[in-house]
Amino acid sequence: MRRVGAMLARRLLLLLPVLWLVVSLIFLLIHLVPGDPVEQMLGQGASVADIGALRHAYGLDVPLGTQYMRYWIGVLHGDLGRSIRLHLPVRSLILARYPYTLELAIPAILLAILLAFPAGIASARHRQHWQDRWLAAVSLFGVSFPAFTLGPVLILIFAIDFGWLPVSGTGSWRHFVLPVFTLGAALAAILTRMVRTSMLEELGQDYIRTARAKGVSERGVVYRHALPNAMIPLLTVISLQFGTLLAGAIVTEKIFSWPGLGRLTIDAIANRDYPLVQGCILAIGLTYILINLLTDALYAVINPRIRQ
Each residue's pLDDT tens digit, 271-292: 888 888 888 888 888 887 788 7
Residue type, 238: I
- Quote the mean pLDDT of the chain: 81
Domain-wise residue ranges, the chain: 90-307
At residue 93, the pLDDT reads 92
At residue 15, the pLDDT reads 74
- What is the mean pLDDT of the segment spanning 242-261? 77
pLDDT of 303 over the 70 cut: no
Architecture label for domain 90-307: Orthogonal Bundle (1.10)
Each residue's pLDDT tens digit, 106-117: 898 899 899 989
Q: Would you say the pTM of this structure is higher than 0.85?
A: no
For the chain, what percentages of helix, strand and coil (3-state, to nearest 5) are there? 80, 0, 20
Each residue's pLDDT tens digit, 197-244: 888 888 888 888 888 888 888 888 888 888 888 887 888 888 877 777
Select from 38, 39, 75, 40 the least CA-distant residue to 59: 38
Select from 107, 115, 153 the least CA-distant residue to 135: 115
On whether the CB atoms of residues 164 and 158 are closer than 8 A, the answer is: yes
